[in-house]
Amino acid sequence: MRYVFFITIFALLQLFSLGTALSLQWWLQPWEIGNLPTIVWIVIFVITNGLLLLSVKRVFANSYRWISGWMLVMHFVLLTALLTSILYGAYWLLASFMGDGINVSAAIDEDLRALALAIFLGLFAYALYSAYVPVVRKVTITIDKVLSKTLRVAVASDLHLGKLFGSGAIDRLQHLLMQNNADILLMPGDIMDDNTDAFVDHKMAVNLKMLCDSVPYGVYATLGNHDLYGHEQPISEALKNAGVKLLNDDVVSIEHEGTPIWLVGRFDNHKHQRVATTALLAHVDIEQPIVLLDHRPSDIEEHSQLPIDLQVSGHTHNGQIFPANFIVSAINRLGYGYEAIGKGHFVVSSGYGFWGIPFRLGSRSEIWLINLVGNKDNQKID
């Protein structure tokens, strides 16, 4: 399976390189000098395969970011070519409809190249904005159990705290929670970006502690796959020391306005010996509200038949970069968003942070604010 994955990535990179070379050859056509087209082709394929080799050999730390970044550049070049072609095609159709002849003059040629450059730079600017400027998704969910008063549940998954997403992002999250009067914050996995190096170096524990202290019922979290890649213990200790309450195959009851609410947390399935959800539910009162934190949304079908009122998940990033969001939707029962399924309600977030490179296209950095409402007729929503 690993070889199939590698061959697929290798083939995609060669196709991306081919498309990028052809697109750049067109864009550079007015300035063609000597062997410039040949040089462009050689440079693109050398960069692609050189970075791939460095990434496979793990020559330097975070080498995957370099190949991911280069692939993003090529992807945006291809999207630029596609959008430019569509716009030119629309111009051609409009001109034909109006009876004007199509005259591809030097001026139009220059305009097309200027438009292509603007689209390319615009894609980067928008993708960077989408990665660093979060939105708040709000939903009201009514469960078939008693809650004396609405519980405001904030969800921030996939922070991936590291060199590119750190103290400022934590402070911004704290501001959003206070602005929206959240009662509790749930973080279903991938809180760190593989290790605690940047977290320690940039003293993020101070910011995270302030965040935890500002939330009335505190911050509860589970570990995701990126928290389990060989640094589970230091990541767990760093989070606990900052005030985060970890629920790793564990349950806890909190009280909200006199109503007990059960929080159930699971390890990510990267940990093969994790406890089954049914075994965890044996320790709770199923007549009372139950909220499950499960990093991946892969068990939603099974959980929809259990007495779970709300499940919050992440992991998918909603693909992070278009068109991967369509792949996420195709392979998951619920790859992103909110849906009531079977006996429960399910929210899958695209994540507050990002993986690898600080860009999002077709997805947004976000938190969810869930107004959890009981079935009493006199329920109060402030």
Nearest to 299 by CA among 252, 251, 332: 332
pLDDT at 380: 45
Residue 104 has pLDDT above 70, yes or no: no
Instruction: Please write the tens of the pLDDT for every residue from 120-143.
Output: 999 999 999 999 999 999 999 999
* Exposed / middle / buried, residue 86 (Cβ in 10 Å: 0-12, 13-18, 19+): exposed
The sheet carrying 151-155 orders its strands as 135-142, 366-373, 151-155, 184-188, 219-222, 245-246
Mean pLDDT over 163-167 rounds to 95
CB 143 within 8 A of CB 372: yes
DSSP helix, strand, coil percent of the chain (3-state; round to 5): 45, 20, 35
* Bridge partners for 338 per DSSP: 347
pLDDT at 381: 44
Higher pLDDT, 32 or 74: 74
Q: Residue 361 and residue 186: Cα distance in Å, rounded?
A: 25
Helix (H, G, I), strand (E, B) or coil at 268: coil
Residue 13 in tokens: 């990179």
Mean pLDDT over 252-267 rounds to 95
Q: Residue 329 and residue 324: Cα distance in Å, rounded?
A: 9
Residue 101 has pLDDT above 60, yes or no: no
pTM for the predicted model, two decimal places:
0.90
Tell me the backbone φ, ψ of residue 225, rounded to 5 degrees. -60, -35
CB 370 within 8 A of CB 377: no
pLDDT at 106: 56
CB 252 within 8 A of CB 245: yes
Strands 259-265 and 250-256: antiparallel
Residue 379 has pLDDT above 50, yes or no: no
Instruction: Please write the tens of the pLDDT for every residue from 202-220.
Output: 999 999 999 999 999 999 9
Mean pLDDT over 235-257 rounds to 96
Q: Residue 268 and residue 275: Cα distance in Å, rounded?
A: 10
Nearest to 297 by CA among 256, 337, 356, 357: 337
pLDDT at 91: 78
Mean pLDDT over 27-41 rounds to 85
Q: Which of 52-56, 120-124, 259-263, 329-333 shows the lowest per-residue confidence on average (mean pLDDT)?
A: 52-56
Helix (H) or strand (E) holding 278: helix 277-281
Residue 100 — pLDDT band, cuts 50, 70, 90?
Answer: low
* Bridge partners for 162 per DSSP: 165
pLDDT at 89: 85
Residue 109 has pLDDT above 90, yes or no: no
Q: State the first-to-last Cα distance of the chain, in angstroms, to the nearest integer.
A: 52
Q: Which of 81-95, 131-145, 169-183 shows the lowest per-residue confidence on average (mean pLDDT)?
A: 81-95
* Exposed / middle / buried, residue 128 (Cβ in 10 Å: 0-12, 13-18, 19+): middle
Residue 349 — pLDDT band, cuts 50, 70, 90?
Answer: very high
Residue 3 — pLDDT band, cuts 50, 70, 90?
Answer: confident
Higher pLDDT, 53 or 315: 315
- In our burial notation (b when 16+ CB lie closer than 10 A, e otherwise), range 89-123 reads eeeeeeeeeeeeeeeeeeeeeeebbeebeebbeeb
pLDDT at 94: 78
Quote the mean pLDDT of the chain.
92
